[in-house]
Amino acid sequence: MTIYRQQLAGIEFALAEPASGEPADTIIFMHGIGGDDTSFAHQLRDLSDQYRVIAWNMPGYRGSQSQSPLSFQVLAEALLALTEALGIERLHVAGQSIGGMVAQEFYHRYPQLVASLTLIATTAVFGGKDDSFKTAFLQARLKPLDDGVSMPELAKKAMPAVTGSAVSPQDLQSAIDAMAGLSEAVYRDVLKCLVTFNRRVEFETIACPVCLIAGGEDTNAPAATMAKMAAKLPHADYHELPAAGHLVNTELPDESSRIIRQFLNKNKML
């Protein structure tokens, strides 16, 4: 299996696909705030025997062009431009954390393009019904940067704090490296975008099949919250991986890939 890194429509992405060259369904994975395409290295490896697997880099990440200010509309439009450049008319969309929010936003704007959604460690709305939590969240996340902490220093503290007991030293280091490579300016912009997400009301209108994968040790997108999300959907598969934290697909890659493959096999287009 060979992973190719390419750039189209201003987005850099990693691509792996079946060696046979036969037509295959496409699934696009979208990473969290501290990640990049390497967050789905295991899924690129595990699923590309059967599927065309793409892991994008959000605008401003790795070689993807920055866009500021960021919004979920801008992110959904960036994904649309990438799919059009690739000539994809319909696809499976997957995302972890803010990537799962982008996946939801993309569905709500372009439902005809989405064959299925895989939502990993994410929510349908950020924070509560008022702005107090959002304000406190931003202040807490931005203060270290305001105090002069570098992104590599921040990554060394942040990634161990969000992972669960099952993460391997190698996968944890990979996560730290991904966040360390992010520019401070982009990190600030993405955090400010994150707190604006709210598709709470529209969530239960999702009509395509949805797979939800939660980490039992995740305190950012708790399993109980994701279970409630799944209960609102008529076509939902819910899975909880007890020993995983927020980086579920990185921490427990084999289990995550198995769940995703099973879900995709049930909802194949080709």
pLDDT digits (tens, 9 = 90+) for 109-135: 999 999 999 999 999 999 877 788 899
CA neighbor of 211 nearest in space, from 174, 250, 248, 171:
248
Number of independent structural domains in the chain: 1
Distances (CA, A) of 71 to 98, 148, 168, 192, 193: 12, 26, 33, 9, 5
Helix (H, G, I), strand (E, B) or coil at 167: coil
Helix (H, G, I), strand (E, B) or coil at 29: strand
| Band of pLDDT at residue 234, cut at 50, 70 and 90 | confident
Asked whether the beta carbons of 218 and 246 are under 8 A apart, the reply is: yes
Asked whether the beta carbons of 212 and 230 are under 8 A apart, the reply is: yes
CA geometry: angle 47, 172, 197, nearest 5 deg: 75
CA neighbor of 248 nearest in space, from 205, 217, 202:
217
pLDDT at 2: 85
CA geometry: angle 224, 268, 225, nearest 5 deg: 5
pLDDT at 270: 84
| Band of pLDDT at residue 247, cut at 50, 70 and 90 | very high
Q: What is the CATH number of the domain that holds 117?
A: 3.40.50.1820
CA geometry: angle 147, 68, 133, nearest 5 deg: 55
pLDDT at 155: 98
pTM > 0.95: yes or no:
yes
Partnered with residue 240 across adjacent β-strands are 214
Is pLDDT of 197 > 90?
yes
| Band of pLDDT at residue 97, cut at 50, 70 and 90 | very high
The terminus-to-terminus CA distance of the chain in angstroms comes to 21
| Band of pLDDT at residue 22, cut at 50, 70 and 90 | confident
- The number of angstroms, rounded, from the C-alpha of 42 to the middle of its chain's C-alpha atoms is 14
Amino acid at 23: P
Amino acid at 102: V
Quick one: average pLDDT of 212-220? 98
Q: What is the CA radius of gyration of the chain?
A: 17
Quick one: average pLDDT of 229-256? 97
Length of the chain: 270
Q: Look up the domain containing 151 and give its range.
A: 4-266
